[in-house]
Amino acid sequence: MPLRQVVEHGHLVSGIEQFLHANRADIAGSSSDKHVHRRDNLPANRRYPKRNQAFGQAATQRWLASWRSIAFHWAFRMRNCFFLQTTILSMAAVAVGCATVCTKRGQAIAPAEYAETIRVACVGDSITFGASIKDRENDNYPVVLGRSLGGEFEVRNFGVSGATLLKKGDFSYWDRPAFKAATQFNPHVVVIKLGTNDTKPQNWKYAADYAADYEAMIDHFAALPAKPKIWLCSPAPVYQTRWGINEKSVVEGIIPRVRALARRKGLPVIDLYTALSGKPEMFPDKIHPNAAGARVMAEAVEAAILGR
């Protein structure tokens, strides 16, 4: 009986009994007693030893009876109790984890499947742009990503300092030339990392629009001729409130919305928040990662794109 039916219909005991009954021969044959064997394993010219046969059958019966007793005991203890609920939740978590892994692998880019250079658009704010990185031109994360991916990919940086995902934000990405340029690039891959500037009080007052505006951006890129694969990113951690950017809104507002939207759209999330957590030394101004932080970002994005 399938485990799901056992759990849903309370047939735990009967399910175990069915399993034991179906496998009773193997159970008896697997005894560690060297004298207990199945009859069909004996040579034709040898008689089955009756004493050992009786012993084997009795041992098997005792084993079955023991397990039947255990099954009844736990069936009644588990029914309608916290342990059963925890078991079901754990099974659900495993199923979700499996679905997530499958989604990531299905989304992965295989260069051999493309007849042209794979175009990657990194859409984002100042963190994508590379603000506060000493050698920004060479060390921003899209450039590092491009070097690592190699000649089969063309990675472009469409980051805009101060940009918001919110259309009503004080510096909306929708109105920036970079948005138009990213569209005209007709990418095969789009990596979206927007939300840090949305946490500013003057922008987060429109929090109710965040998910809808994000979905509109996803749909915009998904409709391009290249039919790109799209990855969403959680924002980087905020190590100190500055310019109105704050950790509370990132953790309690942005990240849950990004994850919920990703689940609904069937898209993977690159968890840059976790990748950069516990690394304050990589954030000189407490908001923007330095070159080392950009490398961490590039590694996380590359792993996602290639399905590693």
Q: Do both 72 and 154 map to the same domain? A: no
Q: Do both 64 and 114 map to the same domain? A: no
User: Could you give the angle at which helices 12-22 and 50-78 cross, rounded to 10 degrees?
Assistant: 160
Q: Do both 70 and 157 map to the same domain? A: no
166 is in which domain, residue-wise?
A: 106-306
* Domain CATH for 286: 3.40.50.1110
pLDDT tens digits, 88-97: 333 433 333 3
Would you say residue 62 lies in a domain?
yes
Q: Do both 131 and 258 map to the same domain? A: yes
Q: Do both 117 and 64 map to the same domain? A: no
pLDDT tens digits, 26-71: 444 444 444 444 444 444 554 444 444 444 555 555 655 555 555 5
The type of residue at 287 is I
pTM of the full structure: 0.68
The whole-number pLDDT of residue 191 equals 99
Number of domains in the chain: 2
Would you say residue 300 lies in a domain?
yes
**Residue 270: strand pairing partners:** 233
Q: Do both 238 and 186 map to the same domain? A: yes
Would you say residue 99 lies in a domain?
no
The pLDDT of residue 156 is above 90: yes
Q: Do both 75 and 110 map to the same domain? A: no
And the tokens for 19? 């399993």
For residue 107, name the pLDDT band (cuts at 50, 70, 90). Answer: confident
Would you say residue 282 lies in a domain?
yes
| Residues of the chain above pLDDT 90, percent | 65
Q: Do both 142 and 280 map to the same domain? A: yes
Residue with tokens 């998904």: 222
Average pLDDT, the chain: 80
Q: Do both 14 and 49 map to the same domain? A: yes
Cα–Cα distance, 151 to 265 (Å, whole number):
31
And the tokens for 175? 């109105």
Three-class HEC string of the chain? CCHHHHHHHCCHHHHHHHHHHHCHHHHHHCCCCCCCCCHHHCCCCCCCCHHHHHHHHHHHHHHHHHHHHHHHHHHHHHCCCHHHHHHHHHHHHHHHHHHHHHHHHHHCCCHHHCCCCEEEEEEECHHHHCCCCCCHHHHCHHHHHHHHHCCCEEEEEEECCCCECCCCCCCEHHHCHHHHHHHHCCCCEEEEECCCHHHCHHHHCCHHHHHHHHHHHHHHHHCCCCCCEEEEECCCCCCCCECCECHHHHHHHHHHHHHHHHHHHCCCEECHHHHHCCCHHHCCCCCCCCHHHHHHHHHHHHHHHHCC
Least confident of 53-67, 69-83, 141-155, 218-232: 69-83
Domain finish residue from 44, 79, 114: 79
Q: Do both 282 and 142 map to the same domain? A: yes
Q: Among 172, 179, 125, 170, which Cα is nearest to 289's?
A: 125
Would you say residue 281 lies in a domain?
yes
pLDDT tens digits, 266-279: 999 999 999 999 99
Would you say residue 38 lies in a domain?
yes
Would you say residue 93 lies in a domain?
no
Q: Do both 123 and 23 map to the same domain? A: no
Would you say residue 131 lies in a domain?
yes
Q: Do both 143 and 262 map to the same domain? A: yes
The pLDDT of residue 2 is above 50: no
